[in-house]
Structure 1
Amino acid sequence: MPPYPIILAHGIYPFHFLFPPFISKDNDKKDNFHYFRGIRSALVEAGFTAFHTRVSWGGRVDRRADELRDRILRITRGFQQWPRVHIIAHSMGGLDARWMIYKHRMAHRVASLTTIGTPHHGSPEAERRLKRFGFVVNLARWIGVEISGALDLTPPACEARNAALEGFESANGVMYRTFAGVQKIDDVFFVARRSYRFLKEREGDNDGLVSVRSAMWKEKYFMGIIDADHLNQIGWWDGGRAMGTTSRRIFEKRIREFYVSLAEGLE
Structure 2
Amino acid sequence: MTDVQGYRAVLGVIGPSTNTVVQPDMERMRPVGVTNHYRGIFVTDPVALSNEDFLAGTTAISDNTMTAVREAMTCKPDYLVLGMSAITFYGGIAGGAKFKAEVEALAGVGASTGSEATIAALNAFGGIKRVSFVSPYYPVANAEVRRYLEESGFETVRDVPLECKCWTDIAKVSPERLSEVIAYLDGPEVDAIIQVGTNLSMVQLAADKERELGKPVIAINTATYWHALRAIGITDKISGAGRLLEEH
TM-score category of the 2 structures, normalised to the smaller one: 0.3 to 0.5
Structure number with higher strand proportion: 2
Please report the TM-score for the alignment, with normalisation by the length of structure 2: 0.43
Please report the TM-score for the alignment, with normalisation by the length of structure 1: 0.41
